[in-house]
Structure 1
Amino acid sequence: MTTLDAGSPAPAQATFRRKARAYAKLGKLSFYDYYLSALVAWTLLVPALRDEPRVLGMLVLLSLGWVGVVAATVTFDDVTGYRDGSDQRNYDPSQGELRSRERKPLLDGHLTVREAVRFGYASIAWAVVMLAAAVAVAPQRPWWAVALTAMVLLTSVQYSHGLKFSYRGGQELVLFASTGLTVLIPFALASGDASGLVLAEAYLFGLWSLLVSVYSNINDLAGDRAAGRRNMATRSSDRGYRVFVAVLTATETAAVAAVVAFGAVSAWFLLFLAPVLWVRARQVRTGLAAGDPLTARKLGIKAHRLGVVVLLAANLVLAT
């Protein structure tokens, strides 16, 4: 065996690892926030359902399905952003501390467009299989929950591909609905119905995701306009968009207050959510008053993750 032959497996293994890392970045597998919805839904269930094997199996399969949905959505978004040049403009290397360009493997040539498209369609296939299996094993299958499951898949993967909702004025709605419904759907498939508290927490979960992207859109305004993307930021004046973000933010406090006022949960819920509202106030001050949208975006991610921890605790203590 020659020296070259002896060393040949190492480069092949290194290439495989590089490709695997690139696909993981393309599918944003490290951005786990979306998948925390299963935990929120689980804590909202009555104790008798929480250890039911079919419920636990459904939650696992749904979460695996959402992984495929998200991977397909962000992959096709990256492909479209690479093709129209918006990602090249929006992901300036100088902003690396606040927004890593490494999450865009197409920009640095670690993957080709063809490889990314294949990965996107494979992710859709994975999502279809996992979501169908989740519905099949679910203890309950109300028609509207099954329909919403299909809707999340069909609308999400066409966020920047196919019907391209994010380029035609539907960006905010798709981001909000597809995220929030991942709380409502598993609860419905486990219990067969919904409640005021479930609807409120689904709203909060979707809103928390949206209150990350709306600040990204301030930073991406020039690139998105050049690419022809029509969202609230590109269609509004600077003042109008700031009002839009402020109103969205205010609905978070309104939703928390409403769920208490209508008796869906005790007033202690307000105290549980207080740390999230404090971070949100910092986000508004940083992004809208100080004009630092990328730092505000990071605060939005912090608020989302803190919010999930708070909801889990509040549900286990109060909702039961």
Structure 2
Amino acid sequence: MTHQTTTLAGPGASRAGGLAAYARLAKLDIYDYYLGLLLVWALLAPAVRWDGGTFGLLGLVLIAEIVVVAAMVGFDDITGFRDGSDAANYGSDAARRRLHRKPLVAGTLTEVQALRFAWSATVAGAVLWAASVAAAPHRPLWAIVLAAVCVAASVQYSWGLKLSYRGFQEIFLIGLGIGWTLVPYALLTGAASGFVIVQAIVFGAGPMLFGLYSNTNDADGDRDAGRITVATLVSARTHRVFVAAMTAAQVLLIAGSAAAGAAPWWFPAVLLPVVAMRLAHLVIGFRGDILRARRIAIHAHRVTVVLLVAANLVATGVAS
């Protein structure tokens, strides 16, 4: 197999592989999946929420998640470097997309360094998740299986089975957020109610929705690299319709869950600002400013977490 190892680094680029380069490889500045642990904490009953063991387990799970994501994005960068998609996607818009966040393409890490890092993170992540399960007060089988699936799928997102290249990217993006909300909640409580599941889906939809804008922007480079996403399979117009449908699905879940009795009356009312932000990024995306729409979608996800955390804390406080 021939690798297209295109580097966009300038003549002064360093191959030192310093801590900053590894931090960029691990994408430590992208914390959106980790916010699910705040939601988990807010969903807990007050007696469990303030227990010292709860903070210890959530801290251990947080480290496990960070390490697994580091492995996932490390392998993703290596694959994108080899097939040339990162050079194609970042080369035309390096200023807005911060080329330094791709250390292989920028020339601040070698492929060998990145591989060593990704494999080390894979092993450490698996060990940390096993330790999290062992330390948990509850171990429902479905949660253990779901945790294992999330770890395996993360590592093979762009490596091994290369799930994101086989048409599973959008499913993975929402699935990881759902899994990493339900698993720690179940490890702390032993079960998950319908309302917890609804909030987990709303949370998981956030990374998927802003990921769809990335896919829109990257469609040509991904298509050339053989990466299958909805954006690479359909026309730009059809993909805009798909993004609108996925956005509408989240809004319908928010409203419909309350109407169906799966969520309390206050749930859609609390998330009205998020609905407004969703409409805003749709309009901006339809007008062609994809990266701005993506930024608003990211902010909408983070606002969702803030509102749900606050609302759950108030609701459980009133109930107690």
Contact 1:269 1:318 in 2 (8 A): no
User: Which one-letter code corresponds to 2:54 in the other structure?
Assistant: V
Q: Distance in 2 between matches of 1:282 and 1:123?
A: 38
Q: Cα deviation per residue 1:140-172 (whole Å; 9 max; x = unaligned)?
A: 000000000000000011010000011111111
Aligned-residue offset at 1:279: 1.0
2:289 corresponds to: 292
1:278 corresponds to: 276
Q: Give the TM-score, by structure 1 length.
A: 0.91
Q: Distance in 2 between matches of 1:312 and 1:264?
A: 18
1:65 corresponds to: 64
* Distance verdict in 2 for CA 1:172–1:315, change over 3 Å: same
1:127 corresponds to: 125
Contact 2:173 2:208 in 1 (8 A): yes
Contact 1:72 1:124 in 2 (8 A): yes
1:183 corresponds to: 181
2:254 corresponds to: 256
User: Which one-letter code corresponds to 2:66 in the other structure?
Assistant: V
Aligned-residue offset at 1:188: 0.6
Contact 2:258 2:267 in 1 (8 A): yes
1:34 aligns with 2:62: no
User: Which one-letter code corresponds to 1:216 in the other structure?
Assistant: S
Instruction: Pick which of 51-60 and 222-231 moved more.
Output: 51-60
Q: Distance in 2 between matches of 1:241 and 1:57?
A: 43
Q: Distance in 2 between matches of 1:43 and 1:246?
A: 30
Q: Distance in 2 between matches of 1:166 and 1:226?
A: 14
Q: Cα deviation per residue 1:245-297 (whole Å; 9 max; x = unaligned)?
A: 1110001111111221233443222221111111111100011x201111111
Q: Distance in 2 between matches of 1:140 and 1:30?
A: 31
1:117 corresponds to: 115
Aligned-residue offset at 1:18: 6.2
Q: Give the TM-score, by structure 2 length.
A: 0.91
Choose from 200, 203, 206 the match for 2:201: 203
User: Which one-letter code corresponds to 1:236 in the other structure?
Assistant: V
1:307 aligns with 2:313: no
Aligned-residue offset at 1:16: 11
2:98 corresponds to: 100
User: Which one-letter code corresponds to 1:290 in the other structure?
Assistant: R
1:4 corresponds to: none
Aligned-residue offset at 1:50: 0.7
Aligned-residue offset at 1:94: 3.5
Contact 1:25 1:105 in 2 (8 A): yes
Q: Cα deviation per residue 1:35-77 (whole Å; 9 max; x = unaligned)?
A: 1111101111111111223322221111111001111111110
User: 4+ residue runs of structure 1 moved beyond 6 angstroms?
Assistant: 15-18
Instruction: Pick which of 256-265 and 275-284 moved more.
Output: 256-265
Q: Distance in 1 between matches of 2:17 and 2:232?
A: 36
Kindly, what percent of the aligned residue pairs are identical? Answer: 46
Q: Distance in 1 between matches of 2:121 and 2:210?
A: 24
Unaligned runs of 5+ in 2: 1-13
Q: Distance in 1 between matches of 2:214 and 2:94?
A: 12
Contact 2:40 2:181 in 1 (8 A): yes
| Aligned length, in residue pairs | 304
Choose from 302, 313, 316 the match for 1:316: 313
* Distance verdict in 2 for CA 1:285–1:171, change over 3 Å: same
2:10 corresponds to: none
Unaligned runs of 5+ in 1: 1-14
1:11 corresponds to: none
Aligned Cα RMSD in Å?
A: 1.6
Choose from 262, 265, 268 the match for 1:267: 265
User: Which one-letter code corresponds to 1:299 in the other structure?
Assistant: I
* 1:143-222 paired onto structure 2 within 5 Å: 143-222=141-220
Q: Distance in 2 between matches of 1:146 and 1:176?
A: 19
Q: Distance in 2 between matches of 1:295 and 1:125?
A: 37
User: Which one-letter code corresponds to 1:253 in the other structure?
Assistant: V
Q: Distance in 1 between matches of 2:93 and 2:194?
A: 45
* Distance verdict in 2 for CA 1:17–1:39, change over 3 Å: farther
Q: Distance in 1 between matches of 2:197 and 2:132?
A: 21
Aligned-residue offset at 1:298: 0.8
